[in-house]
Amino acid sequence: MANRIPRVPVREQDPKVRATNFDEVCYGYNKEEALLEASRCLNCKNPRCMTACPVSLQIPRFIAELAAGNIAGAAAVIAEDSSLPAVCGRVCPQETQCEGSCILGVKGEPVAIGKLERFVADYSRQEGKPAAENAGAKAKNGHKVAVIGSGPAGLACASDLAKWGYDVTVFEALHKAGGVLEYGIPEFRLPKDKVLKHEIDDVRALGVKIETNVIVGRTITIDSLMDKEGFEAVFIGTGAGLPKFMNIPGENLNGVFSANEFLTRNNLMKAWREDYLTPIHAGKKVCVVGGGNVAMDAARTALRLGAEVHIVYRRTEAELPARREEVHHAAEEGIIFDMLTNPVEVIGDEKGWVKALKCIKMELGEPDESGRRSPVPVAGSEFEIPTETVIMALGTSPNPLISKTTQGLETSKRGCLVANEEGATTRPGVFAGGDAVTGAATVILAMGAGRTAAKAIDTYLKQQQ
Amino acid sequence: MYQILSKDMLTPTICRMTVEAPRLAAAAQPGQFLIVRADEKGERIPLTISDFDAKRGTVTIVTQKIGASSSDIIAYEPGEAFNDVVGPLGLPSEFTEMDADKLSAMRYIFIAGGVGTAPVYPQAKWLHDHGVAVDVIIGAKTKDLLIYKDEMAAVCDNLFICTDDGSEGFHGMVTALLEKLVAEGHNYTQAVAIGPMIMMKFTTLTAKKLGLPIVVSLNTLMVDGTGMCGACRVSVGGKTRFACVEGPEFDGYLVDFDEAMRRQGQYKAEEAEANEKHVCKIGRGK
């Protein structure tokens, strides 16, 4: 009977209204909605959802607790595997992971696992129950582990190690913990003070120390951590923070920004708020170049700052690498999609400010090695889009600060750290995971890599004893 | 928190502070800089390091009041603390990694302009301590705006002062004094200019004319200072470089100063608006 109930729709802020504010787009489920949606789960013996989850969240178990009305129990089940459920419930690509594997999705709509995870996390937080209490940390074992970077990979790794009794210190280069969750993902998708801060406090409650304003590779080095400060193992979860540019003429004109700069000013530095001092420049019209989640975030941020926003992408809408939900939300809010369009030059005025983006029309040719049909320029089709601002959202690559300052740490041609499946790098005692190893990917894959490396660090340190 | 241990005003608008930051102080080298965020709502402001003391765990910063954020920094008093101080950022000066033989053959002339005099100090001091010949020119509009005269005199062979209005030392620009010194037979092998972008541009032109290699230290816009945002990008020899991680020091001959000056003014409109609205914090708590 249960599976005849249709998926419970989730309430969202009206697109016209939300285009003018930074409040969260999705309201999430209330208790009645969550319990009803939870009742749809078939509690499969072979839960494909769980296999598809990079952190192996015990999905049927937590949903069963929730369906029975035991929300605290559901939170405890989640806490065994994740310290960031309110984050993951919001930003994970569930459609290609847990929900994409849900048996109900074969004939109808999958269980809204992400929204349920979010509900459990939000409800527990509002009830004021710290996850650490549920997770039950073990007694300290006296072994010190350093985690570099407080993004999803680092926090996941630190949480597991702390639960197993390790003395963990996380070193963060910025002034606030969270990595890309803090500087990259906008407030309207992931509220900072309301949601993120609490999940990071939960990680602290496990006994994890977080030291901000420490740049490994400048302030300290991996060698000094291991030789002088007594850390027996190090996990590098420094992400992929370096912006890419197109290397086209005019890219250094005033008004051309990397998506990283634009989003960091707005998110980490809170430039959207009148009472914060950091400036941000959007102007009346903005072109965002790129088609990934970061491009959507930058575009929707510029829109909320009052600009008319165009997404300029060289392939078609079908190839946009961003999550469908993000593209859909962006379109609903009034973002204009200029597809099969590739910039060739940024044109400036006499004062050196952007006045137009010169583009060329593209058409899809033969499929490339990634299987996507590669875009080919249409000869003679150049045209100009008048614009005040250009935001380059072309992807990011790992920061070389650590690899350049650490002996024995190999990197790939793309600048990614070389690590095996367990996360061990080419230097003994040093592990790595997340975007620093794979190049830019997702929050949840980074968390999965952090957990895998935590296991490997535990094994390594036990062997050393 | 990063406590301020001492503070003195070097001119009515230039302030020197010694701040507790043990990890930073232990790692800092000449040529590097740091970022201060005064309070929760403040900007991340890149500032030069004018001295560091690993034993005491302190760094000395010199800040010139320009806009809302620098005014906020200057308003702090000893005993109070900044929310955030992070660094050292950027690469150390090239000479810190030169081999001793090469270094001993060098004859340095530093050209320091205005608040840019402060970061020259640790560089001159390092070279002086390593027995390398160092002369320094300190330039300012007028004698009341000269800073670090006594400190600098103690760490260089010859200190030359110059003021635009002739109120102290050589009457004229630093470029004219540099030309005069070279004409008088000072056989410098390397110039280093630190000061306002326009001063570094013209000093580079003069050095080029004299056939003197010159390094400049670029004070570009920045947010994170670790290579993440790209606000600091600058064209050097036709290639885009990030001043925060690949600089701040570059070969002056190769820097596109006009672009760098234009990019520095990128948020002028927003800043003017902020200054208008800004409530000055000097004298708060009194």
Indicate the Cα dihedral angle A439, A445, A448, A453, nearest 10°: 0
Report whether pLDDT(A134) > 90: no
pLDDT in tens, A193-209: 999 999 999 999 999 99
Using left for φ > 0, alpha for ψ between -120 and 50, and beta otherwise, residue A31 falls in alpha
Domain range list for chain A: 2-134, 137-241+398-464, 243-395
Beta carbons within 8 Å of A318's beta carbon, 6+ residues apart: none
What b/e sequence results for A327-336 when a residue is b if at least 16 CB atoms lie within 10 Å of its CB, and e otherwise? bebbeebebe
CATH 3.40.50.80 domain span(s) along chain B: 94-217
pLDDT at A135: 52
Angle of helix A113-126 relative to helix A59-67, nearest 10 degrees?
60
Chain A CA closest to residue B68: A277
Chain B CA closest to residue A255: B266
Strands A285-289 and A144-148 come out as unpaired
pLDDT at A238: 96
pLDDT at B278: 67
Report whether pLDDT(B114) > 90: yes
Report whether pLDDT(B40) > 60: yes
Beta strands in A225-281 (DSSP E): 233-236, 242-243, 256-258
**Bridge-partner residues for B192, per DSSP?**
B110, B215
**Amino acid occupying residue B19:** V
Contact call for residues A95 and A324 (beta carbons, < 8 A): yes
- CATH architecture of structural domain A243-395: 3-Layer(bba) Sandwich (3.50)
Mean pLDDT to the nearest integer, A220-240: 96
Mean pLDDT to the nearest integer, A12-21: 96
Report whether pLDDT(B198) > 90: yes
For chain A, say whether B254 makes contact (Cβ under 8 Å): no
For chain A, say whether B166 makes contact (Cβ under 8 Å): no
CATH 3.40.50.300 applies to domain A2-134: no
pLDDT in tens, A248-281: 999 999 999 999 999 999 999 999 999 999 999 9
Q: Which CATH class is domain B94-217?
A: alpha beta
Length of chain A equals 465
Least confident of A47-56, A403-412, B46-55, B267-276: B267-276
Q: What count of other Cβ atoms lies within 10 Å of the Cβ of residue B164?
A: 14
Q: Which CATH number fits domain A137-241+398-464: 3.50.50.60, 3.20.20.60, 3.40.50.410, 3.40.50.150?
A: 3.50.50.60
Q: What angle do CA B83, B86, B91 make, to 5 degrees?
A: 165
Distance CA A75, CA A78 (A): 5
**Considering the entire predicted model, what is its pTM?**
0.94
Report whether pLDDT(A137) > 70: no
Interface of A with B (CB under 8 A): 173-175, 183, 212-215, 218-220, 241-243, 245, 247, 251-252, 254-255, 257-258, 260-261, 264-265, 268-270, 275-281, 351-352, 399, 401
Report whether pLDDT(B176) > 60: yes
A-B contacts (CB, under 8 Å): 111
Distance CA A179, CA A172 (A): 8
Band the pLDDT of A17: cuts 50, 70, 90: very high
Mean pLDDT of chain A: 94
CATH 2.40.30.10 applies to domain B2-90: yes
Percent share of chain A, pLDDT over 70? 97
Contact call for residues B133 and B157 (beta carbons, < 8 A): yes
In 3D space, the residue among A119, A126, A346 whose CA is nearest the CA of residue A255 turns out to be A346
Distance CA B82, CA B20 (A): 10
pLDDT at A127: 86
Distance CA B190, CA B179 (A): 14
Q: What angle do CA A265, A268, A271 make, to 5 degrees?
A: 45
CATH 2.40.30.10 domain span(s) along chain B: 2-90
Mean pLDDT to the nearest integer, B112-133: 96
Q: Identical fold at A2-134 and A137-241+398-464?
A: no
pLDDT at B286: 34
Report whether pLDDT(A315) > 70: yes
